[in-house]
Amino acid sequence: MIRKIAVTAVLAAVSPALASDNFEIFGPGTQTCGQYLASSEHDQLLAEYWISGFFSGVSLAEPTQNKSGMHDATGGKGLPSVLKIIKAICQGEPQETLQEISGRVWVLVTRKNPQ
């Protein structure tokens, strides 16, 4: 229940429409970190494309700007750094989904507090 509330809070920060339970996650974002880490290099790359799309979508929807004034959901860290953070968290939390971890990392790298 706490996990569901935390994910809802993160999504609410992106868009009030996403705060409800009435949204669908498609593709690799639904897999657990354990599945992601245990998958082939090809399947990991597909998951990383999904993560890239997640951060691109948040960049479109969220007004956080980097030093050059671009909307940047990676907090200026760039996608390679974000992927390293996601992998590190996934190693310690293999039961979490990529969608959940991506949302948490977005909050972490942009220093947002969804409370």
pTM of the complete model beyond 0.85: no
- Least confident interval from 2-6, 34-38, 54-58, 71-75: 2-6
Is there a contact between 95 and 33 (Cβ–Cβ < 8 Å)? yes
What pLDDT, on the 0 to 100 scale, is given for residue 83?
A: 96
Phi-psi domain of 31 (left: phi exceeds 0; alpha: psi -120 through 50; beta: other): beta
Is there a contact between 62 and 107 (Cβ–Cβ < 8 Å)? no
- How confident is residue 90, by pLDDT bands cut at 50, 70 and 90? very high
User: What is the chain's alpha carbon radius of gyration, rounded to the nearest angstrom?
Assistant: 13
- How confident is residue 73, by pLDDT bands cut at 50, 70 and 90? confident
Is there a contact between 73 and 58 (Cβ–Cβ < 8 Å)? yes
What residues contact 99, with CB distance under 8 A and at least 6 apart? 7, 25, 29, 30, 54
